[in-house]
Structure 1
């Protein structure tokens, strides 16, 4: 359960939401995305001065909010090429798809006609999803534990996509419990037991994470609700 969580995300900046497993990080991203089981009891969600608290997932997606799931979905019978054409743009050129796939390290000659199903590994499906983000260019991209189940080379690709989103004026938000993923951001929020323990520059938040969470015997019990 979250308590008195207030966050602000500005265009062109990179954000990290850091905390141990079970701290409430993913709950925050599900509330932002509008999953039906995660509607806030109190408080509002404001997007560009508009209240979107009661909007559905699809309505929020149309406004430019995208969630990259920790475990990417599978789609039986759908090819990678078809999946990457579902982003909502009226005319995605094949050359754009090829460029996006190459950006995330997928050989188009090998993967265009592959199916987005169990025949792809979790890491391969994550790369496909990263390619879809490049093509869609959403305003806000929430990366939920993007480094889970992938190799070290893919970490660089994720950072490249995060940088790309910020460069075109979008807002990437990284949900993570690893310092390595948080370093490539500008501003961070440290979460514990559904509360914000600290927020500020990412380096300051990481230092607080090291000094508080990594030595805490009760990872979901804040040492201080007043830590700033």
Structure 2
């Protein structure tokens, strides 16, 4: 289990995350739903341990062990992986090299083709480079394939549909099912109702706090009826950041 306890992260007098708490159990898919600017990506960076987001209060606990002091590589060794909203480019690195970490992960050609098929790509991509010759959607698919290969303990997917057309929702759902089958805990950061509905459980995030949790459809309806009509500026107010 991954537990987030009373996380507070302040920037320029604003609590971007404000006493945020949540629990994520093994082998379940969770959606963290919210509008832009409410702290969703910040939460993903805090969970991954980015150096720029280590100055927070509260605790992050993985399987009963506090991991606040662990760096990104150390958290990766614990099995935590982040799928970026904007996938990285690697000049001179082929897709095959990227997926196998330069040959450190030994996979047969059949296994590579199988994982590419899950994300809707064919074997022709193995010799292509992970750079600007690929579209953002293609790089996103390749990143999802790499996540399935490394078999993480916990994966945080920041806007997994970014750059991917609406017809590819089935592909994302297939990836989630593959990860669940391996016992991976999946945390989806999203503002899309259809993505949130793919989860087993959902949280609603606003102003750096988890406002509600429950069945995805229940949270989606709450989000649709209240958040879309809310005049909140999606930024925590200045002043008493303890409340």
Provide TM-score, normalisation by structure 1: 0.92
Task: Tell me what 1:32 maps to.
Answer: 47
Q: Give the superposition deviation at 1:152.
A: 2.0
Following the alignment from structure 1 to structure 2, what is the Cα–Cα distance between the partners of residues 17 and 88?
35
Higher strand share: 2
Q: Call closer, same or farther: CA 1:60–1:95 in 2, change over 3 Å.
A: same
Q: Residue 159 in 1 paired to residue 176 in 2?
A: no
Q: Give the superposition deviation at 1:189.
A: 0.9
RMSD, aligned CA: 1.6
Q: Residue 201 in 1 paired to residue 215 in 2?
A: yes
Q: Residue 178 in 1 paired to residue 202 in 2?
A: no
Provide TM-score, normalisation by structure 2: 0.87
Q: Give the superposition deviation at 1:130.
A: 1.1
Equivalences for residues 1-228 of structure 1 within 5 A: 1-86=16-101, 90-108=105-123, 110-220=124-234
Give every structure 1 segment of 4 or more consecutive aligned residues whose post-TM-superposition deviation is greater than 2 Å.
87-95
Q: Give the superposition deviation at 1:102.
A: 1.4
Q: Give the superposition deviation at 1:219.
A: 4.3
Q: Residues 15 and 172 of structure 1 are in contact (CA less than 8 Å); yes or no, is this contact kept in structure 2? A: yes
Query: Which segment is superposed worse, 89-98 or 33-42?
Result: 89-98
